[in-house]
Structure 1
Amino acid sequence: MYTVIGTAKSRAARVLWMLEELGQAYDHVAAPPRSEGVTAFNPAGKVPVLIEDGTPITDSTAIIQYLADKHGQLTHPAGTLERARQDSLTQFLLDEFDAALWMAARHSFVLPEELRHAAIKNTLRWEFERSQKTLVHRMGEGPFIMGEMMTVPDIILTHCGNWALGAKFPITEHRLTEYLDRMRRRPAYSRVMSQWK
């Protein structure tokens, strides 16, 4: 049995979705970042935290890749060219999508008010639009980012797409809009989003 700590409004949604896709049982503790229920397992106070056999694992990407590897689903095997492509897409999404959205969040509500610079968000939106153009050229033919098989980067990209819309970062590429609409119709995704409160 797994325990996932973090609200479905956070990157914990990625872990919850992965577990739903894998059909694995889990307990969900919807603790907010930096709360006592989080810092007991992650001194940085960040969510998500996955606990398995009393061992906490942090960082959403590390967690979902671990779960995919452990259960042999939603991933290509380590040491294959397909896995190298998968990992490359994962890193691209973290560097170009997740990082821009997190920087915008920091300058919106995370940093102390005197350290926030609202103007940086215009630059980040511009970079986000450019990254979308690059991404659509890297997407495979098929319903998922790599083609016919759903993999770890699909969870990251869909989560970032939702985050972008909430942060008023427009999705400008039609192919990406269609992709996000398709991913949001997945039953496992719907089960996680029903926890979004």
Structure 2
Amino acid sequence: MYKLIGTRDTRAFRVMWMLEELAQPFESVHAAPRSNGVVEFNPSGKVPVLIDDGTPITDSTAIIQYLADRHGKLTHKAGTLERARQDSLTQFLLDEYDAVLWTAARHTFVLPAELRVSGIKDTLRWEFQRSQEILKQRAGDGPFLMGNMMTVPDIILTHCLEWGQAAHFPIKECWLGKYWDIMRERPAYKRAEAR
């Protein structure tokens, strides 16, 4: 059985959701970032950490892609053009959504107060909106980002949209709001959310 270390309000949610989508049992260990229970497995203190057969795996995207590959679901096969497109979309989301939101979080509550730059958030909101326009051009015909098949990028994007709403980064693209609503109605998402 997998062991997942982290909290629901962090990127650990991505892993919880992936495990629910895969119908894989797991033990959930509630541990805050940089706590002793985390640092022993990840020196940076970041969550999530997935323990598989005694081996810790860190970083949410690496974990969910590992799980998708291992169980042969929610991913295209490595070495295919579909997988190259999927990986490209994953990187786009990490660069243009996740990184923007993480920078906003750092300048809101992570960095020491004297190092925070509050004015940066206006720039980040602009980037978040611009990324929505670009994503519209990159997304498939739906209902998922890659078309008819849900993949790793869908988990990343849905989590980033949730994070963005909590940070008051609005969803400006109508299609994206509808997509987000559909993704949050998935039974596995609701099970992960209820944990």
Under a length normalisation based on structure 1, what TM-score does the superposition of the two structures give?
0.98
Determine if the alignment matches structure 1 residue 40 to structure 2 residue 40: yes
Q: Partner residue of 2:72?
A: 72
Distance across 1 between alignment mates of 2:29 and 2:69 = 24
Aligned to 1:26: 26
Cα distance in 2 between the residues matched to 1:84 and 1:177: 26
Counterpart in the other structure of 1:180: 180
CA distance in 1, matches of 2:19, 2:179: 21
SS of the residue 1:147 aligns to: coil
CA distance in 2 between partners of 1:170 and 1:34 (Å): 30
Which structure 1 segments of 5+ residues have no match? Answer: none
Partners of 1:155 and 1:82 in 2: how far apart?
A: 17
Give percent identity, aligned residues only.
Answer: 70
1:73 is paired with a residue whose SS is coil
* Partner residue, 1:126: 126
Could you tell me how far 1:142 is from its partner in structure 2?
2.1
Partner of 2:5: 5
* 1:194 shift after superposition: 1.2
The number of residues matched between the two structures is: 195
TM-score (norm 2): 0.99
Task: Please name the residue that 1:57 is paired with.
Answer: 57
Structure 1 residue 82 corresponds to structure 2 residue 72: no
* Residue deviations 1:41-73 (CA, integer Å, cap 9, x gap): 111100000001110000000000000000000
The equivalent of 1:94 in structure 2 is 94
Cα distance in 1 for residues equivalent to 2:5 and 2:140:
33
Secondary structure of 2:145 counterpart:
coil
Q: C-alpha separation between the residues in 2 aligned to 1:146 and 1:67?
A: 18
User: Secondary structure of the equivalent of 2:4?
Assistant: strand
| Whole-Å separation in 2 of the counterparts to 1:119 and 1:192 | 34
Q: Does 1:158 align with 2:158?
A: yes
CA distance in 2, matches of 1:191, 1:53: 24
Aligned with 2:130: secondary structure?
helix
Deviation of 1:30 (Å):
1.3
- Structure 2 residue identity aligned to 1:176: L
- Mapped to 1, the partners of 2:42 and 2:95 lie a distance apart of 23
